[in-house]
Amino acid sequence: MNTDNKVLACVDQSAFADHVTDYAAWAAQRMAAPLELLHVIDRQPETSASQDHSGSLTPNAQESLLGELTEADALRSKAAREQGRLFLNRLRERALAAGVQTVDVRQRLGHLDETLHEQQDGVRLFVLGRRGESAQSTQRDLGRNVERVVRALDRPILTVTDGFKAPERILIAFDGSSITRKGVEMVAGSPLFRGLPVHLLMAGKASQDGPKHMAWATAKLEAAGLGVVGEIVPGDRESVIAQAIQSKRIDLLVMGAYTHSPVRSLFMGSKTADLLRSARIPTLLLR
């Protein structure tokens, strides 16, 4: 087992954590890699609405209030860590029951994107829920952390959806760019995809170099022993990919992610986010 390059699953205390753990366990087994379950406790301070913060307190009262708030924060932090410990131990048992040999658990206090960025040197693959704890109350179909985390990392990130199904058919959204060529090389060289049929799809505006790029990618995947079907389909990229996922019963999508700046995404929208919403299957994002 490769103990240097682990699979790191980022989990929060929501029902989606089970799905993240299941996909991370699947990936760790296929890659013969250790698995780490990481729970990041947000460092955002909590403020009690019942306390007087008007600034009209005497110095002694202010000092007393500060002490009370500090003690309350410490108690909340201790309770959060204990809840997290029990939560992580349950997920660890779940991963071990799925057959993973080495499962570690860890808690960190901080911001999710910053914490994951600090950890990535030892990580081969990140696994992240497409939704999290906040989605249970907001009904958000794409978690607020996804784009920020993906932009912060240089490693492949498997974003997963509700429920677990071991992937059996892979689709690579390929356009000949350097990032999707990198994706083809990764699929060809990774045990994660060994033995799985691959559908290679070029969608969008027709390109004169499209057939040449497709021939390169097909040859690369076939040389790795993968069964490959290549297809060039003109039309709206998002629609073509979504239709292919449905018609070919694709279980996992591989694509480049957030290639434009955050400013452009703010004003023009994000094609990555649109695809994640329409695909509704686990998606391996490449940066």
Domain range summary for the chain, segments of one domain joined by +: 6-44+79-160, 170-286
Chain centre distance of CA 128: 3
190: exposed, middle or buried (Cβ count in 10 Å: 0-12, 13-18, 19+): middle
CA angle 193, 14, 26 (to 5 degrees): 15
Q: What is the pLDDT of residue 41?
A: 84
The residue-averaged pLDDT of 176-205 equals: 93
On the question of pLDDT at 240 being above 60, the answer is yes
What residue spans of 110-176 are helical by DSSP H? 112-119, 135-138, 146-152
On the question of pLDDT at 64 being above 80, the answer is no
The residue-averaged pLDDT of 13-22 equals: 92
170 phi, psi to nearest 5 deg: -115, 140
For residue 106, list its beta bridge partners: 38
On the question of pLDDT at 58 being above 80, the answer is no
Residue 176 near residue 210, CB atoms below 8 Å = yes
Candidate from 177-186, 235-244, 260-269, 278-287 with smallest mean pLDDT = 260-269
The residue-averaged pLDDT of 21-33 equals: 97
More confident residue, 89 or 262: 89
Percent residues over pLDDT 70 in the chain: 75
Buried b vs exposed e over 211-227: b needs ≥16 C-beta within 10 Å? Answer: eebbeebbebbeebebe
More confident residue, 275 or 184: 184
- Report the chain's mean pLDDT, rounded to a whole number: 82
Q: How confident is the model at residue 206 (pLDDT cuts 50, 70, 90)?
A: confident
Candidate from 81-90, 182-191, 248-257 with smallest mean pLDDT = 81-90
More confident residue, 243 or 48: 243
More confident residue, 275 or 87: 87
**If you average pLDDT over each of 142-146, 150-154, 223-227, which comes out highest?**
223-227
On the question of pLDDT at 70 being above 90, the answer is no
The residue-averaged pLDDT of 12-17 equals: 88
On the question of pLDDT at 55 being above 50, the answer is yes
Q: Which of 35, 273, 252, 97 is nearest to 164 (CA)?
A: 252
The residue-averaged pLDDT of 2-30 equals: 90
Candidate from 44-58, 106-120, 153-167, 189-203 with smallest mean pLDDT = 44-58
CATH classification (class only), 6-44+79-160:
alpha beta
Overall residue count recorded for the chain in this entry: 287
Q: What is the pLDDT of residue 82?
A: 72
The residue-averaged pLDDT of 3-17 equals: 87
The residue-averaged pLDDT of 94-98 equals: 97
On the question of pLDDT at 262 being above 50, the answer is no
d(CA 188, CA 85): 38
Distant-in-sequence, close-in-space partners of 80: CB < 8 Å, separation ≥ 6: 41
Pairing of strands 157-160, 283-286: antiparallel
- Fold match between domain 6-44+79-160 and domain 170-286: yes
The residue-averaged pLDDT of 142-148 equals: 67
Neighbours of 181 (CB within 10 A): 17
The H helix count followed by the E strand count for the chain is 10, 10
In eight-state DSSP terms, residue 239 is H
Q: What is the pLDDT of residue 13?
A: 86
Q: How confident is the model at residue 196 (pLDDT cuts 50, 70, 90)?
A: very high
The residue-averaged pLDDT of 188-202 equals: 95
What residue spans of the chain are helical by DSSP H? 16-31, 59-97, 112-119, 135-138, 146-152, 178-189, 210-223, 237-247, 262-268, 271-279
d(CA 230, CA 217): 9
CATH classification (class only), 170-286:
alpha beta
d(CA 76, CA 72): 6
